[in-house]
Amino acid sequence: MTTSPIERAADQFVTALAQWRVERGMTKKQLAARMGFDPSYVSHVEGRRHKPTEDFARRAEAVLGAGGAIWQRFQEYDELRHARTNGLHRDPPVPVQWLPPGTGLIVEREVAELAYTDGAYRCTVQRWLYNAGVEPVTRYLAKISVDRYPHDPAGSNRHHRENPLTFDEMDVQAFAGEGAAAEPMQWRVKLDRDASKEVWLMFANERGQFPLYPGERTTIEYAYTVGEEKWGQWFQRAVRLPTRSLTVRLKLPESFEPQVWGVEASLAAEVPVRTPLERRTEGGRAIFEWSTDAPLLNARYRLEWRYRGADAPVYEETGPPEPALPRASHRMRGIGIIQRGSDLLRQRARHFQLPREGVAARNAVTRLLTSLGRLEDLHEFSKGVGLAASQIGVPVAAAVVRPPERDTEPVVLLNPRVVGESSECDEQYEGCLSFFDYRGLVPRPLRIDVEHARFDGTRVVTTFERALARLISHEIDHLEGRLYVDRMAADAKLVPVAQYQQTGRPWDY
């Protein structure tokens, strides 16, 4: 039986809603109570007996903290639903975004500006804050980081070790309130590293304290300066609190002939921003501005630029010349593979509720197979290759593995777990797409028995041996929040890929 696009979109909304409700450990009754609905209403929406409204979707997103996933699915459904009626009979607009009790601090609007003047960049950030929590707010954490060579992390690290950013040069200033009512904010250092700083902006000064009490609003503004020798050609904003509106602005000398573009970065990939930047000229400055409403939590938005003018400062693409360092991980990151250090790689993946979440499972597998194809265009995997959903930013229990034999179909794993293994083991060098600059000697059993699910919910047990057993074990480890380095002997050393002598060879059995 076929379904229409609108029915599929509705199914995807319901799947996302149920998935996040289970993830948060809530019953339908508990979710309804938090959302302010009758307990039967959530059941009716999940059962497709009621159509979701904008208000329902906003409340579900706010209560479940889904990072925008529920809201995105609703928007996709809503666009299809109203395209069929040419936009007629839309739900009445929601005048104010609903917030669950105790939400905490909300950024109602942020405007972040970076201006270049006389060899230095001055960053100014304004945030309009609303305390939707139940406790007074007495301080606000501001994070500051620089990256002189953003496309050469090793070069940047060397540069900032030799030329550390200091508070003395930054001239940090902060204020709360607007106009004549603005109060200077004291600040305290939380973190002080060569290329990154964290400071607490205190709702206090020498005249006393002025906490932001529940239900109150205020504006804060903080600014700092960084010389051009320590600032690369990018300006990034990370969404760390629920935010309703974000604007990023650059002010650069028009004579530098700047060319500017925008990038949206998530855990899964980097893509161009979805709307164009606006440009205008004022007083000899080229001003570039980009805005978005309701940015996703944990998303990062970055403006990058290059100068084409003859009198513009010269920026090297990489750091000072040093012996070549491995860059394989940069290529992996470039196609959306999450790298070691991300918290997501240390989280246990959520199992699918099959067959109810069959659509979501198929979508995850499709994304994995697409990424696998991109990987095989980028690198020759003579030992075979596997990819877990967590490595592309999807924290669900799905993985695909392509055996060493190139003409063999990939193995698809849903909700897998090892239920048996041989006592006989061997040690072989392994690599990892999330840690691709090194190889490590890892002991694993020569045979494993794996219980896994089909899309219809039935479970089967499959036996894998030798190379395929190693590949499968590696991916199941990913779904359990484990990396291959965790299985290495305590005295074993990682081998840089430049020194590894077995690239292009299959494992030896």
Which residues are catalytically annotated? 475
Strand partners, 279: 288
C-alpha to C-alpha distance for 165 and 193, rounded to whole angstroms = 8
Contact 302, 262 (CB under 8 A): yes
Question: Which amino acid is located at 41 in the chain?
Answer: Y
Tokens 């083991």, residue located:
425
C-alpha to C-alpha distance for 462 and 459, rounded to whole angstroms = 10
Give φ, ψ of 294 to 5 degrees.
50, 55
Report strand pairing: 278-282 vs 285-293: antiparallel
Question: Which amino acid is located at 186 in the chain?
Answer: Q
Q: State the number of CA atoms in the 13 A half-sphere of 221 facing the CB.
A: 13
C-alpha to C-alpha distance for 260 and 91, rounded to whole angstroms = 38
Question: Which amino acid is located at 251 in the chain?
Answer: K
- DSSP code of 77? H
Q: State the number of CA atoms in the 13 A half-sphere of 385 facing the CB.
A: 22
Give the tokens for residue 230.
Answer: 């320590």
C-alpha to C-alpha distance for 6 and 76, rounded to whole angstroms = 9
Comparing C-alpha atoms, which of 436, 500, 443, 440 is closest to residue 470? 443
C-alpha to C-alpha distance for 376 and 217, rounded to whole angstroms = 52
C-alpha to C-alpha distance for 161 and 439, rounded to whole angstroms = 27
